[in-house]
Structures are given as structure tokens and as C-alpha cells.
A and B are shown apart, each in its own frame.
Chain A
Amino acid sequence: MAALELTRREEFDPAFLSLVASFPEGAKIRHCVQCGTCTGSCPVSYQMQHTPRKIIEMVRAGMRRAVLTSDSIWYCASCYSCSVRCPQGINLPEVMYLLRSIATATARDRSAIFYHCFSETVRRYGRLHEPALMLRYQLRTGLLGLFKNLPIGVQMLAKGKLHLLGRRIGGCQEVETLFRLAEDERRGSTGVPI
């Protein structure tokens, strides 16, 4: 495995595997037999820096930085094609979620930014409000995208498929409390997402 040989020894952090394995879906990666069925079933693996199978092996080797900075974890489309076929019952999209949750604070991938903007929009309104989400997202990823998406937005508006005004739900305070509780948990003793 070229990637392993090229990586300096200090980049192997055994605590990384323990961290991932402390979550139920993460623990199962110990049983991965590296058959590659996941990679073969994955509609986006051809674009990933490291394939799904390889990501699992890299986590097991403790390659924390390489895993968390790879684009692979952000390419996963949560389609579950891999998990329904995996002979070891590994739920790979859940492993990807877990890795994303660990990486999220520093991640610069466009998908990471999108997910963050989405969450913040839900935090404000209690529901998704597309114009607010797209504005947040485009402000962070470049306004060029806003112009590119404008024609579709205008057409959606004309078709009655977009509402410009957002409305907050009655339970916004409850939603805000749930956000705070989840954030406290992340900051808690373990420093991990759950």
C-alpha cells in the first residue's frame, strides 16, 4: 500500500481507531475484510481521493490527518449501496457521518460548508428555508455560484416551488435547546460528537 509506505511513522495515531470504535457503527470496522465490495458498489468512488475500502483501512491504521482531510468523506452521497452489500454488515455511510462529525470544524470542502449552512438555517427557522440556505452557502463559496443558480431559482419561483419569505416555527426555542445540548455534548469530556 503505497499510501501507507509514504506516510511518516508519526502520522499513525492508534487513538484515532479507538475514537472511531467508541461508536457502535464505528466499532464494526474492526470486522472489515477489505473485500472492496463497497468500493465496487459506490457510485462516486471513482472521484474519491481514497476509495471507501481504503478509508476503512486508513482508519484502522490510525491515519487520522489523512482521513480527516481527504475529500472522500465528503463525496459519500449516503446511498447505502455499499452497506446493503457489505458481507460484514458495516454501515459505511454511518462511518462517513462519524468521520465528518469529527472533521467538521476544520473542513473546507464545499459539502462541509453546505451542511454547516444548512444546519444553521434550520437552527434559525426550525425548518429549511432554501433562499436563506443558498445565500449563506454562496456567500461562503463565491458569489459566482449565485449567478449560475439564479435562472433555476427564478424558474422555481415562477412554478411556485420557492418561497422568498421564511417563517419560523413555534418550537424554535425547543430546536435551539436541542442544538445547544448537542454542542455541549460535543465539547464535553470526550471531545467527540456524541
Chain B
Amino acid sequence: MVVLVKHVPDTEARIAVAGGGRSISEEGINFVLNPYDEFAVEEALRLKERLGGQVTVVTLGPERAKEALRTALAMGADEAVHLRDDALEGGDALSVSVALARALKDIPFDLILCGKQAIDDDSCQVGPRVAELLGIPQVTVVTKLEVDAAARTARAQREMDGYSEVVETPLPALVSAQKGLNEPRFPSLPGIMKAKRKEIKTLNLASLGLDASQVGRAGQGAEVQALEVPSRARRGRILTSDPPAAAAELAALLRGEAKVL
């Protein structure tokens, strides 16, 4: 099994735009393993515990992204691969997928797991694009997964708006994890200490056999023109009138202003 992971700013990080106006400033920001990827790692570990096999985590990112790999190793993943090259940086979902798909050509797998989205740029594209590039089926936003190793199939449940859908797919396939799939374990202390000793395999542009024009900024399909911090923080509103009046006011606001009714 392969799990695709990303190192992202944690949800409490205060985001500021970096000089140049096209990326965020990393100063003072705490980065973590993307929460949806944690579900993916956990699911892979559970499958391994049930069915055997190996779990390899793969990331593309700067030097600090090793921490996301270490976290997954500490949870119990067996191997880690880091796609690390300045030429790979600054790209979009397209160019990242190209590099990941290339790396996956050399890693045997029956199943690829990933988070349904990375909580930093929320594109939800990397998983599906990797599956397309590899020519394998994909099931996204999965909340329940059953693998039949003998039949080489998987049944996945997807929570849709108001109903759920059960999909069966042959393996190998790519599955993206939604909240609810499982409760990720904490990495144990012995796991953390062991992770420190595990080797992280690094792949650069040359070892991937890719050309600089295909990846990173050069290989992207869409380009960020400008980033802006919202001018005013969204604020909650507290209705202070007595309960009947407040209820009426709330209903009016939900209908008129929030337009959710």
C-alpha cells in the first residue's frame, strides 16, 4: 500500500502572504501531517494489521516535509519516500501529480490511499489526478473501506449529500479518505523513537527521470496570480434579544442574509 501525504500549516496557523504576493509566508507557522492524510495512514495501517503487506508513505515538498513522513512512520508506516528537489516546488495539482505518479511507477502497490483534500489549498485534485495518470480506478471521499484480498477488490462507502453510495472497484485503485473513515491512532513513544532510525528515501528530479519543464512551476496548468488575506475576519454575531424574538431574528437572518433557508 502507498499513502500520499502532505505537510500543511495547522488549522490554527495565522496565515500571512509572503513577499511577491503569490505564496504564504512560512514564518512562525507550525506544519503538521494533513489531517485527512492521517485517516489515510490509519486505514493503511489497519489493512496491514488485518491482511499483511507494507505501508509506504510518499510526499513531495521542501525539507520540512520530512516531518510529515516521520509522523506517519511513527504511527507505524514501514517506508517513506520524499520527492525533494527545488525544481519540484511551487507547482500546482497538475505538476505535483505528474511527479508523484512518476515515483509510483517504481513502488509496487495494490492500493493507494490519500486524504480527500489537503487543508492548505483545498484543491482535492492530486489524488484523482495521480489515479488518472496511472490509469487506475479511483474512489473519493470514502468513509468506509473493505478490501477482499483474494478477489482483489475493494468496497468503499462514500457519504454524499443526504445519501451514501457503495462502490466496488478492482484493485489496484486509489481511495481518498474522508473524516469518519476511522479514528487515527497517536504515534506511540516507541514508534516515535523507531521512526527516528528509519531511513527516508529521497528522490530528486534526476532520479525520478523527469524534465524540469514537466514539474514545479514550469509544469503547472494554472498559475496563482495573487493571494490576499480576507480584509476583515469573519465574525460571529450574537443575538441578544429575548428568546422568541431572537429565534425570529435568527430565522430572518438565515433566510435573508446567509441564504441557507
- Interaction A to B: no
B residues contacting A by CB (< 8 A) are none
A residues contacting B by CB (< 8 A) are none
